[in-house]
C-alpha cells in the first residue's frame, strides 16, 4: 500500500507536465499539496460544498477508480489539457554564466545586437513578402489554368450536350489539387493544417506547440495552401500567411536551420525562447501585413492576439517588419503584373478601392449597420457551433491520415458538385460589362452577351468573388442568387474549416458576409420607394463582410484596422468598428470565437488575459502541484539521470535546494534549474570529480546551451556510465539563483498575473522559511476556466 501511495504521489508532482493524466478534479486536487496535514477533513468538505460545479459523475468514478490510477478512457472533448504542450522559457535565467557573458560584452556588442535585431526584422519582412508573392502567383496561375480548362469544357458541352462530364471534370481537378495538399498535410506535417492562427496565437501566448515553427511546416503550409485554394475549396490563403510569417521569423532569427543542418553562425545571441518569441510576433505581423496589405493591422494583430510583452521598441520593430513585408510584396507583384515600381497594389487580398460616391454614408444608416452586426454575430455563433461539433467528430473518428485525406477529397468533390448545380440551375443572367474581363465568366444557358451571375460567385477564386461582391454595379446580382450563395457557401465553409488541409477562414467569412450584406443592400433599396442613392449594395457588402468575419473570429481592434486598411478607406472606420463590436457582443453570448474553440479542442493550456472571475478564493496552495521533485545544489549524477529518465514524470523544472549540514531542518530553496540545462550539463559531463582531475577542461559557456537549443536531445540519448553515476554535479553556476516565489496563500489571480505579465514557466511556492512546498506551472493555472455553470476545471490528458 505504501508503495502504491508513493508511486501515486510521485506521479502527482505535476511539474510542467506531470504524469499521464494527472487529472484530478479540483475536489481532490485541492487536498494534495497540503504539507501541513493539520487541515482536517472538514476543510475538504467545505471545499466540496463550495465547489458545486464538480460533476457528480466524476466524483463517483474517481472513487470507484482503482487506486493505482489506471488510465481511464474518455472520448475527446474540450475540457482537457494535453500533456504534449509545454511552456516557453520567456523569463531570463540570470545564472553566473549569463552574468559572465554580460560582463564580457562591450557596449559596442550591445549596440550590434540592437542593429542585428533590426536586420532580422527587415529580413523577416522581405522573406514573408516573397512567400506571399509566391503563393499569390502560384494560386493565380494554377486556378487560372483550372478554370480555363473547365470553362472551355463547359462551353463545348453546352453546345453538344454532356454537361455532367464537365461536372465530373471539375470535381476531378479539384480533387487532384486537394489530394496533393491533403497528403502533404496529413502525412508529413499535421500541424500545418488549418489556418495556423490558433497555433501562432498559442505560441505567442507562451505555449510551445511542437513543430509549429519548423521549416518543414513552412514548406508544407505553403504548398498546402496553394493546393487547397487552387483546388476550389471554400478557403483563403490569408491565415496561412500569418503562420508562414511566424515560421520565417523563428527561422531567420536563429541564423540556422536545424532541419537542413546548416548553421550560419549568425544571430547566436537570439537562440532562446525570449528572443524567438518576440521575433515570431514580428513575423505574424508581417504575415498579416502581406496578406491584407495592412501594416498597422498586422502590428495590432500581434498586439491583440499574442505578444504579452510589449514595449515601444519592440512595437516599432514589428511595425518595421510589417511595412517591409508589404513593400516587398508590392514590389514583386508590380514586376509580375508588368508595372515594375508601382507600389500601390498592396495585399494578397485587395478589396479594391471604393469609389468616392459610394463611400458616403449617413447617420440614419448607423442603426442598420448595427443590426447587420448583430446578424453577423448570430451567424458567426452558428458557424462556430456547427464547426465545433464537426471538429469534435473529426478528432474522435476521422483521425487516421488516410481518412483525413479522403475527407478532404470528398469536400472538394462536393464543393465542385454543389457549385456546378447552383450555376447550372441559376436563371440569373447579367450583361457582360467592360470591367468583367479579368475573370472566367460562364455563359451556359444565358443569352449571348450575357453571363451567369451565379458563376461569378462560385466559378472563381474566393477572393475575387469578394471583390466582385464589393464592387459590381447595383443590379449585378439577383437577390435569389445571393441568398442561395450565402446559404451554400456558409455550410461549405463551415464544413471545410478543420479539414487536414492548410487553409484560412478569413476569406470564406468575408465572402459569406459580403453576400448577405449585399442582399441586405438590395432589399433595402427595394423596400424604399424612391430608390435611394445611399443604399449602395457594395457598401452593405463591406459591412456584412465585416460583421460575418467579426462574428466568426471575434477579433476587434486589429480586424477593424485590417478592414479599413484593406479597403483603403478610413471613412468606414466608424461603421466597421461598431459592427465588429456588436458582432462580438452578440456572438460571445452564444459561443466563443472560432480560434478559441480550436485552441480549446486541441487541449492547449492557454492563458487568457485575466484569471477567471470568481477565483480569488483559490490560493496557490490549491493550485500548485506538490510534492515537488527537488535537487540538491550538489547532486549525484545518478539521481539526476534517474529523475530525468523517468518517463512517467516528464518534469521540466526542478527547484534546487540546499540542505543545512548537520541539522534536521528541511532543505531551503536556493535556485531553479531546467531539464534542458541538466541535459546539456550531462552531455558535457560537467562533474565535480572530472573538473578536479582535469583542470584544463574548458569551462561551459552560455553558448553551449544555445547550440543545443531548441531541440535538446532526449535523456535516453545521453550515455552515462556506471562510474559516472557516482559523480557529483554542482548546479550552483547554472541554476537560476533567483526564481520567483510566492507564499502559499497567494490568490490565484495574483499568481496568474505574475505568470502572464512575466512570462513565467515555473513559480515556486515557498513557506515562511523558504522551503519548497509546491510548484505552479502553466497547466496548473490554465485548468481553471469559467464555464456555463461557474468555475470549472479542465483535466489533464495524454493526447
Partner 1 sequence: MLPYNLYLFFVFVAIDVPSLKCGDVVHLSASESADKLEAVPSLSTAAVSSPVPAVDTGFSFSLLSSFPEDLEVSDYCSDLLHIFGQRYVAYVNCLVPAARPVKVCQSCYSTYGSVVEIYKNISSDQMGPGNVTCRDSLLRSDRLMLVYQLYSNLESLWEDSNCAQCVTGDLESLTNDTLYFMSTLNQTLTCFEKYQQGNHTELCKNCKSAYGTLNVLYSQMEKNSTLCIDIEDAMNMTRRLWSKNFNCSFPREENVPVIAVSSFMLFLPIIFYLSSFLHSEQKKRKLIHPRRAKSNTSLMNIQDKLS
Q: Residue 475 Cβ, how far from partner 1 at the closest point, in Å?
A: 17
In order, the DSSP letters of 80-145 are EEETT-EE---S----HHHHHHHHHS-HHHHHHHHHHHHHHHHHHHHHHHHHHHHHHHHHHHHHHH
Are the CB atoms for 219 and 502 separated by under 8 Å? Answer: no
Considering beta carbons, is residue 31 or 100 the nearer one to partner 1? 31
SS (H, E, C) 9-63: HHHCCCCCCCCCCCCCCHHHHCCCCCCCCCCCHHHHHHHHHHCCCCCHHHHHHHH
Strand partners, 262: 257
Q: Residue 408 Cβ, how far from partner 1 at the closest point, in Å?
A: 11
Q: Residue 279 Cβ, how far from partner 1 at the closest point, in Å?
A: 33
Give which of 675, 690, 677, 676 is closest to 721, Cα–Cα: 690
Considering beta carbons, is residue 154 or 197 the nearer one to partner 1? 154
In order, the DSSP letters of 615-675 are -TT-BHHHHSB-S---EESEEEHHHHHHHHH-TT----EEEEEEPPTTS-PPPEEEEEEEH
320 vs 295: CA distance, rounded Å? 9
Q: Residue 784 Cβ, how far from partner 1 at the closest point, in Å?
A: 17
Q: Residue 156 Cβ, how far from partner 1 at the closest point, in Å?
A: 12
Considering beta carbons, is residue 41 or 49 the nearer one to partner 1? 41
Considering beta carbons, is residue 459 or 734 the nearer one to partner 1? 459
Considering beta carbons, is residue 259 or 646 the nearer one to partner 1? 646
Q: Residue 129 Cβ, how far from partner 1 at the closest point, in Å?
A: 33
Considering beta carbons, is residue 373 or 605 the nearer one to partner 1? 605
Considering beta carbons, is residue 161 or 210 the nearer one to partner 1? 161
Q: Residue 729 Cβ, how far from partner 1 at the closest point, in Å?
A: 30
Q: Residue 497 Cβ, how far from partner 1 at the closest point, in Å?
A: 15
SS (H, E, C) 231-248: CCCCCECHHHHHHHHHHH
Q: Residue 422 Cβ, how far from partner 1 at the closest point, in Å?
A: 10
| Chain Cα centroid distance, residue 469 | 30
Give which of 472, 470, 475, 467 is closest to 531, Cα–Cα: 475
Considering beta carbons, is residue 421 or 732 the nearer one to partner 1? 421
Q: Residue 692 Cβ, how far from partner 1 at the closest point, in Å?
A: 42
Rg, Å, the chain Cα set: 29
For residue 618, the tally of other CB atoms under 10 A from its CB is 23
Q: Residue 72 Cβ, how far from partner 1 at the closest point, in Å?
A: 5
Are the CB atoms for 203 and 284 separated by under 8 Å? Answer: no
Considering beta carbons, is residue 27 or 637 the nearer one to partner 1? 27
54 vs 48: CA distance, rounded Å? 8
Containing H/E element for 785? strand 784-787
Are the CB atoms for 679 and 644 separated by under 8 Å? Answer: yes
CA torsion angle 285 287 292 295 (round to 10)? 30
Considering beta carbons, is residue 79 or 208 the nearer one to partner 1? 79
Considering beta carbons, is residue 359 or 414 the nearer one to partner 1? 414
What are the residues whose beta carbons fall under 8 Å from the beta carbon of 554, sequence distance 6 or more?
A: 380, 583, 584, 587, 588, 592, 593, 594, 595, 596
Containing H/E element for 765? strand 762-766
All three cell numbers of 400: 487516421
Considering beta carbons, is residue 45 or 570 the nearer one to partner 1? 45
Considering beta carbons, is residue 645 or 799 the nearer one to partner 1? 799
Give which of 568, 243, 516, 192 is closest to 372, Cα–Cα: 516
All three cell numbers of 407: 475527407
Considering beta carbons, is residue 475 or 532 the nearer one to partner 1? 475
- Do the bridges between strand 450-452 and strand 429-431 make them parallel or antiparallel, or are there none, so unpaired? antiparallel
Q: Residue 243 Cβ, how far from partner 1 at the closest point, in Å?
A: 24
Q: Residue 591 Cβ, how far from partner 1 at the closest point, in Å?
A: 22
Q: C-alpha distances in angstroms, 273 versus 119, 219, 307, 760?
A: 19, 23, 13, 12
Q: Residue 69 Cβ, how far from partner 1 at the closest point, in Å?
A: 4
Amino acid at each position: 500500500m505504501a508503495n502504491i501511495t508513493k508511486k501515486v504521489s510521485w506521479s502527482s508532482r505535476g511539474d510542467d507536465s506531470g504524469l499521464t493524466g494527472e487529472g484530478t478534479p479540483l475536489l481532490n486536487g485541492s487536498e494534495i499539496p497540503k504539507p501541513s496535514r493539520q487541515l482536517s477533513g472538514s476543510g475538504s468538505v467545505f471545499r466540496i460544498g463550495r465547489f458545486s460545479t464538480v460533476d457528480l459523475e466524476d466524483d463517483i468514478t474517481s472513487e470507484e477508480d482503482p487506486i493505482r490510477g489506471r488510465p481511464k478512457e474518455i472520448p475527446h472533448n474540450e475540457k482537457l489539457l494535453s500533456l504534449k504542450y509545454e511552456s516557453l522559457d520567456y523569463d531570463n535565467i540570470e545564472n553566473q554564466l549569463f552574468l559572465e557573458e554580460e560582463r564580457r560584452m562591450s557596449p559596442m556588442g550591445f549596440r550590434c545586437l540592437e542593429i542585428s535585431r533590426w536586420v532580422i526584422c527587415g529580413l523577416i519582412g522581405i522573406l514573408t513578402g516573397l512567400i506571399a508573392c509566391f503563393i499569390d502567383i502560384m494560386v493565380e496561375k494554377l486556378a487560372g489554368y483550372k478554370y480555363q480548362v473547365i470553362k472551355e469544357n463547359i462551353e463545348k458541352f453546352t453546345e453538344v450536350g454532356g454537361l455532367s462530364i464537365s461536372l465530373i471534370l471539375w470535381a476531378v481537378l479539384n480533387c487532384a489539387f486537394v489530394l496533393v495538399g491533403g497528403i502533404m498535410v496529413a502525412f508529413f506535417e499535421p500541424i500545418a493544417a488549418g489556418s495556423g492562427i490558433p497555433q501562432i496565437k498559442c505560441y505567442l501566448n507562451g505555449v510551445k506547440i511542437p513543430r509549429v515553427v519548423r521549416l518543414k511546416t513552412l514548406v508544407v503550409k505553403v504548398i498546402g495552401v496553394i493546393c487547397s485554394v487552387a483546388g476550389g475549396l471554400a478557403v483563403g490563403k490569408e491565415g496561412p500567411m500569418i503562420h508562414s510569417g511566424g515560421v520565417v521569423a523563428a527561422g531567420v532569427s536563429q541564423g540556422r536551420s536545424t532541419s537542413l543542418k546548416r548553421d550560419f553562425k549568425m544571430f547566436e545571441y537570439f537562440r532562446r525562447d525570449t528572443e524567438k518569441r518576440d521575433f515570431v510576433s514580428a513575423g505574424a505581423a508581417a504575415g498579416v501585413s502581406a496578406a491584407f496589405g495592412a501594416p498597422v493591422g498586422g502590428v495590432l494583430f500581434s498586439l491583440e492576439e499574442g505578444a504579452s510583452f510589449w514595449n515601444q521598441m519592440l512595437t516599432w520593430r514589428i511595425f518595421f517588419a510589417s511595412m517591409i513585408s508589404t513593400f516587398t510584396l508590392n514590389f514583386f507583384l508590380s514586376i509580375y503584373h508588368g508595372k515594375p515600381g508601382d507600389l500601390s497594389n498592396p495585399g494578397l487580398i485587395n478589396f479594391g478601392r471604393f469609389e468616392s460616391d459610394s463611400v458616403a454614408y449617413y447617420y440614419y444608416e448607423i442603426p442598420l449597420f448595427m443590426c447587420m452586426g448583430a446578424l453577423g454575430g448570430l451567424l458567426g455563433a452558428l458557424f462556430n457551433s456547427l464547426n465545433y461539433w464537426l471538429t469534435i467528430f473529426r478528432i474522435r473518428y476521422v483521425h487516421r491520415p488516410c481518412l483525413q485525406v479522403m475527407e478532404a477529397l470528398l469536400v472538394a468533390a462536393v464543393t465542385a458538385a454543389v457549385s456546378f448545380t447552383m450555376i447550372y440551375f441559376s436563371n440569373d443572367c447579367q450583361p457582360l460589362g467592360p470591367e468583367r474581363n479579368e475573370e472566367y465568366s460562364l455563359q451556359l444557358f444565358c443569352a449571348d452577351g450575357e453571363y451567369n451571375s451565379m458563376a461569378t460567385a462560385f466559378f472563381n477564386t474566393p477572393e475575387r468573388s469578394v471583390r466582385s461582391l464589393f464592387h459590381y454595379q447595383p443590379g449585378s446580382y439577383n437577390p435569389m442568387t445571393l441568398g442561395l450563395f450565402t446559404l451554400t457557401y456558409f455550410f461549405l465553409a463551415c464544413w471545410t474549416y478543420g479539414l487536414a488541409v492548410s487553409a484560412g477562414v478569413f476569406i470564406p467569412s468575408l465572402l459569406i458576409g459580403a453576400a448577405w450584406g449585399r442582399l441586405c443592400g438590395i432589399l433595402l433599396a427595394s423596400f424604399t420607394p424612391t430608390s435611394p442613392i445611399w443604399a449602395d449594395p457594395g457598401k452593405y457588402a463591406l459591412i456584412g463582410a465585416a460583421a460575418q468575419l467579426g462574428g466568426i473570429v471575434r477579433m476587434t481592434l486589429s480586424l477593424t484596422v485590417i478592414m479599413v486598411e484593406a479597403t483603403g478607406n478610413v471613412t468606414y472606420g466608424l461603421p466597421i468598428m461598431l459592427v465588429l463590436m456588436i458582432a462580438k457582443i452578440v456572438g460571445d453570448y452564444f459561443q466563443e470565437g472560432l480560434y478559441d474553440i480550436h485552441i480549446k479542442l486541441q487541449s492547449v493550456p492557454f492563458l487568457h488575459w485575466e484569471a477567471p472571475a470568481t477565483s480569488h478564493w483559490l490560493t496557490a496552495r490549491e493550485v500548485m502541484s506538490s510534492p515537488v521533485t527537488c535537487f540538491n545544489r550538489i547532486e549525484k549524477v545518478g539521481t539526476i539521470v534517474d529523475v530525468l529518465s523517468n518517463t512517467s514524470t516528464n518534469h521540466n523544472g526542478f527547484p534546487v535546494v540546499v540542505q543545512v549540514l548537520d541539522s534536521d531542518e528541511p532543505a531551503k530553496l536556493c535556485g531553479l534549474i531546467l531539464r534542458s540545462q541538466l541535459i546539456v550539463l550531462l552531455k558535457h559531463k560537467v562533474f565535480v570529480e572530472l573538473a578536479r582531475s582535469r583542470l584544463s577542461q574548458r569551462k561551459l559557456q552560455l553558448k553551449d546551451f544555445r547550440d543545443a537549443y531548441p531541440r535538446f536531445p532526449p535523456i535516453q540519448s545521453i550515455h552515462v556510465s556506471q562510474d559516472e553515476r557516482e559523480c557529483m554535479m554542482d548546479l550552483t553556476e547554472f541554476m537560476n539563483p533567483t526564481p520567483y516565489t510566492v507564499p502559499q496563500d497567494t490568490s490565484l489571480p495574483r499568481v496568474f498575473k505574475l505568470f502572464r505579465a512575466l512570462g513565467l514557466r515555473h513559480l515556486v511556492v515557498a513557506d515562511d522559511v523558504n522551503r519548497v512546498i509546491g510548484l505552479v506551472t502553466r497547466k496548473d493555472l490554465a485548468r481553471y476556466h469559467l464555464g456555463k455553470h461557474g468555475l470549472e476545471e479542465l483535466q489533464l490528458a495524454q493526447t
